[in-house]
Amino acid sequence: MNALLGEISHIETDGALSIVEIVSNDMRFSSLVVETPKSCAYLAIGRKVEVLFKETEVAIAKNLSGEISLRNRHSATISALRYGGLLCEITLNNKDEIVKSIITERSAKRLNLTVGDRVEWLVKANEISLKDLG
Number of helical H runs and strand E runs in the chain: 1, 10
Quick check: 33 and 18 in contact, CB under 8 A? Answer: yes
Prediction pTM value? 0.91
Distance from CA of residue 20 to its chain's centroid? Answer: 13
CB count, 10 Å around CB of 122?
20
- Amino acid identity for residue 65 in this structure: S
Is pLDDT at 134 greater than 80 in this prediction? no
Chosen CATH of 2-132 out of 2.40.50.100, 3.20.20.70, 3.90.1170.50, 1.10.3720.10: 2.40.50.100
Is pLDDT at 14 greater than 80 in this prediction? yes
Percent of the chain exceeding pLDDT 70 equals 100
d(CA 117, CA 134): 37
* pLDDT, tens digit (0-9, with 9 covering 90-100), for 65-121: 888 898 899 999 999 999 988 999 999 998 888 999 999 999 999 999 999 999 999
Distances (CA, A) of 83 to 6, 63, 93, 94: 31, 22, 18, 22
d(CA 74, CA 61): 10
Give the 3-state secondary structure of residue 127.
helix
What are the respective helix, strand and coil percentages of the chain, to the nearest 5?
Answer: 10, 55, 35
